[in-house]
Every structure is written in structure tokens, then in C-alpha cells.
């Protein structure tokens, strides 16, 4: 038997989660092995892109310069405003992602991700989305994050939020270090739907009883693969699709939509720019050693 959790969520003036109490045992519920929920991360569970905040944390630790970070933010903004997420761009993102992981040790990335989550990401968790995830947990359902970010970052976020686990972009690891080669493709667009289908087959989930949450039209394949798609803080295209399909819409923003654009959020852009800046920093550190 699973136990539900009583979570006390506090929010700042913009409705962002700033913390929650330790889990407490309450009335036992029967696990529902056939139902689950899948949550996109960037601008769905969290304001902005997780890879951007990870890069911010690395910059604060002198892994690269503030000018690199500014270039990172501008490139993400360019992707967002110009809608440049086309196959060629995703190919470039995949190639750039190799620079981000090459030579790093997995335990170092996980340690840094934990520190940076606590410092920069936790205050930017959308309280409303967090409560939606908690409802699924309270109903005895499992909850996975599905993100284009490296799966190690997704796992840290899921663990910190008390969720079941995370699906993300996977990098090849040999002897505890990243080789610079990805296993499969970036977890983006149709790849997310494919991953959900594979997980459902392994876990015995009934997709018709599952739900998916996202802010982006890029995730329409994942939202369409389950029985209930929910648009959270949706972009314009997804909002139109949600209305046409009769999907539920949840918007936890405070009306300052410019914030959503100003804070980098595009998966491809995050991987491209984050990979470039982190890769440059790694090269500088190697030259200095």
C-alpha cells in the first residue's frame, strides 16, 4: 500500500513555489498501476528552462563567464522569438550537446544539479503545477517528468519534488564519465511520445488512463498519446489546439507573459547554447590545468 503525502507549499508574490514541508504520512491509498501522469519541465513545471538555470549555477561557480551566459540567453531568446526549431536546428542541437557532456563525470553533474536545484530552480517551480502532480501521487498514480534536458538533471528535479522519476536526453557513459556521444536522439517532440509509449509498455500503463501536461506545441505528440492532455502556461499554438480539442487549460502565470519569453525556455536553444558555453568553459579549464 502506498501512502499519500501532505505537502505544504509556500509561494512568493508571483505564485512561484519557494518551499514545501517534509512529507507526512496520511490515509493510505491503493496504488493505481495502470494510470500515470507525464509532465514537461520547462515552463510547465518550472519557470524558464532547467538547462538555463543549470548554466547559471555553473557560471556562479566560475565554469564559464557572465558574457558566455549572456550569449546563452540571447541565443535561446532568438530561438523562441524566431521559431527556429526545425530539423536542421535539432541536428545542430544534438551535435552541440556532445560538447556539453564530453569529459564530465556523472557524479559531478549530479552533485552540481542538486546544489543548483536548491539554489536556483526550487524557487521557480510553479506552485500550481506542483499541486497538479501531487494530486496524481495522492491518487496512487506514478508521475514522471519528461524533458529534453539531460536525464541526470531531470532525475534530480524529480527526486527533489518527490516524483516517480524522469525521462530525458541520455548521454553515453564509460567508466563513470560522459563520452560525448548521445544514446538515441534528443528527448524532444515526437521522441517524448515514443518514450512515453515505451515506458507504458514496460510499466503496464493504460495510456487511455494517463495524463500529460505541457506548455508547448512541440509536445503535441506526447499530449495526444495519452487519454488526457492538459495545456499548462500554453504558448499560442498549443492554446489554439487545446481549445479545438477540448483539452483542459491551466495558466499559473501572473499575466506577465514577457517573463516567459525573457527567461530562456526552448529545449533546442537550451541544449545548443548551454552546450556551447559549457563546452567552451571546459576547454578553458583544461588549458589552464
Q: How many CB atoms lie within 10 A of CB 24?
A: 11
Q: Choosing from 32, 42, 107, 235, which is the catalytic residue?
A: 42
Q: How many helices (H) and strands (E) does the chain have?
A: 11, 12
Beta bridge pairs of residue 182: 171
In the residue annotation, 251 being an active-site residue is answered as no
In the residue annotation, 68 being an active-site residue is answered as no
Q: For helices 66-82 and 267-288, what crossing angle results, to 10°?
A: 160
Longest Cα separation, the chain: 58
Q: How many CB atoms lie within 10 A of CB 20?
A: 20
| Dihedral over Cα of 199, 203, 209, 210: its sign | negative
The H or E element that residue 97 is part of is: helix 87-101
Q: Choosing from 32, 40, 108, 219, which is the catalytic residue?
A: 40
Distance CA 267, CA 272 (A): 9
DSSP 8-state class, residue 255? S
Q: Give the residue numbers annotated as catalytic, written as ranges.
A: 40, 42
Amino acid at each position: 500500500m502506498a501512502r499519500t503525502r501532505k505537502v505544504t507549499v509556500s509561494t512568493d508574490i508571483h505564485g512561484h513555489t519557494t518551499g514545501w514541508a517534509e512529507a507526512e504520512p496520511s490515509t493510505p491509498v491503493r496504488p493505481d498501476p495502470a494510470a500515470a501522469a507525464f509532465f514537461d519541465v520547462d515552463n510547465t513545471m518550472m519557470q524558464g528552462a532547467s538547462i538555463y538555470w543549470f548554466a547559471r549555477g555553473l557560471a556562479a561557480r566560475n565554469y564559464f563567464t557572465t558574457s558566455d551566459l549572456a550569449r546563452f540567453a540571447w541565443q535561446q531568446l532568438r530561438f523562441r522569438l524566431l521559431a527556429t526549431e526545425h530539423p536542421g536546428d535539432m541536428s545542430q542541437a544534438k551535435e552541440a550537446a556532445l560538447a556539453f557532456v564530453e569529459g564530465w563525470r556523472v557524479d559531478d553533474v549530479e552533485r552540481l544539479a542538486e546544489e543548483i536545484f536548491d539554489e536556483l530552480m526550487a524557487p521557480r517551480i510553479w506552485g500550481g503545477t506542483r499541486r497538479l502532480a501531487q494530486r496524481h501521487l495522492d491518487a496512487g498514480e506514478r508521475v514522471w517528468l519528461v524533458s529534453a534536458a539531460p536525464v541526470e538533471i531531470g532525475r534530480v528535479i524529480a527526486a527533489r519534488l518527490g516524483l516517480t522519476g524522469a525521462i530525458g536526453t541520455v548521454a553515453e557513459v564509460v567508466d563513470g564519465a560522459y563520452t560525448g556521444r548521445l544514446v538515441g536522439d534528443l528527448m524532444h517532440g515526437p521522441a517524448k511520445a515514443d518514450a512515453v509509449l515505451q515506458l507504458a509498455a514496460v510499466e503496464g500503463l493504460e495510456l487511455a488512463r494517463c495524463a500529460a501536461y505541457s506548455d508547448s506545441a512541440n509536445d503535441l505528440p506526447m499530449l495526444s498519446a495519452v487519454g488526457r492532455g492538459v495545456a499548462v502556461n500554453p504558448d499560442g499554438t498549443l492554446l489554439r489546439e487545446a481549445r479545438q480539442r477540448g483539452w483542459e487549460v491551466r495558466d499559473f502565470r501572473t499575466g506577465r507573459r514577457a517573463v516567459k519569453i525573457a527567461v530562456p525556455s526552448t529545449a533546442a536553444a537550451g541544449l545548443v547554447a548551454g552546450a556551447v558555453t559549457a563546452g567552451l568553459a571546459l576547454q578553458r579549464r583544461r588549458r589552464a590545468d
